[in-house]
Amino acid sequence: MLLSKEIAVELNLTGCKLKQFVAAKLRQMEVPLTPEQFILIDLLWNQGSMSQQQLADQMQKDKNSVTKLVDALERKGFVVREQNRQDRRSNTLMLTEKAEILKHGAKQKGVSILDEMLVGISEEELRSFLVTLHKLNRNMTSAGNGLE
């Protein structure tokens, strides 16, 4: 198999396995979020309120996908939408008190999941891997294929 094809297959399989692994660990640790919901709410924990479009941009997802994530988080009582007064088509997402209470335990549990996933990989290997991932992302973005 060509090296480039083998890398593409392995990246895809690893991405799928990552979601499954994190989802199982979150359930096991009784964190009531999916991996994607965790990423979204973590952005809000770290950066504060923002629009759905800002979240879509940061998560590199289309607005409809983010709307579905926000709907689920709203049903769970973790976020509320506030209509933007300057642009009524836009909503600002804000965390609820329930989300702030969840933050303390969930962030630590998230870190422990990642630590478990990275066992046996040296810091040097991780840094090298991160550089490679950045290069892959840059190449795909600069290829002008609509991923910008």
Note the pLDDT of residue 90: 78
- Residue ranges of the chain with per-residue pLDDT less than 50: 147-148
Note the pLDDT of residue 85: 74
User: Domain range for residue 22?
Assistant: 3-120
Query: Pick from 38, 43, 49: which is nearest to 109 by CA?
Result: 38
145 domain residue, yes or no: no
Note the pLDDT of residue 41: 96
Give me the number of domains the chain comprises.
1
116 domain residue, yes or no: yes
Tokens of 32: 């009531």
110 domain residue, yes or no: yes
Note the pLDDT of residue 148: 46
Could you give the C-alpha distances from 112 to 7, 23, 82, in angstroms and in order?
A: 27, 13, 33
Query: Pick from 56, 53, 25, 17: which is nearest to 39 by CA?
Result: 56
80 domain residue, yes or no: yes
Residue 23 amino acid letter: A
135 domain residue, yes or no: no
133 domain residue, yes or no: no
Distance of alpha carbon 148 from alpha carbon 141, whole angstroms? 5
Distance of alpha carbon 54 from alpha carbon 49, whole angstroms? 10
146 domain residue, yes or no: no
CATH number at residue 18: 1.10.10.10
144 domain residue, yes or no: no
Instruction: Report the 3 state secondary structure along the chain.
Output: CCHHHHHHHHHHHHHHHHHHHHHHHHHHCCCCCCHHHHHHHHHHHHHCCEEHHHHHHHHCCCHHHHHHHHHHHHHCCCEEEEECCCCCCCEEEEECHHHHHHHHHHHHHHHHHHHHHCCCCCHHHHHHHHHHHHHHHHHHHHCCCCCC
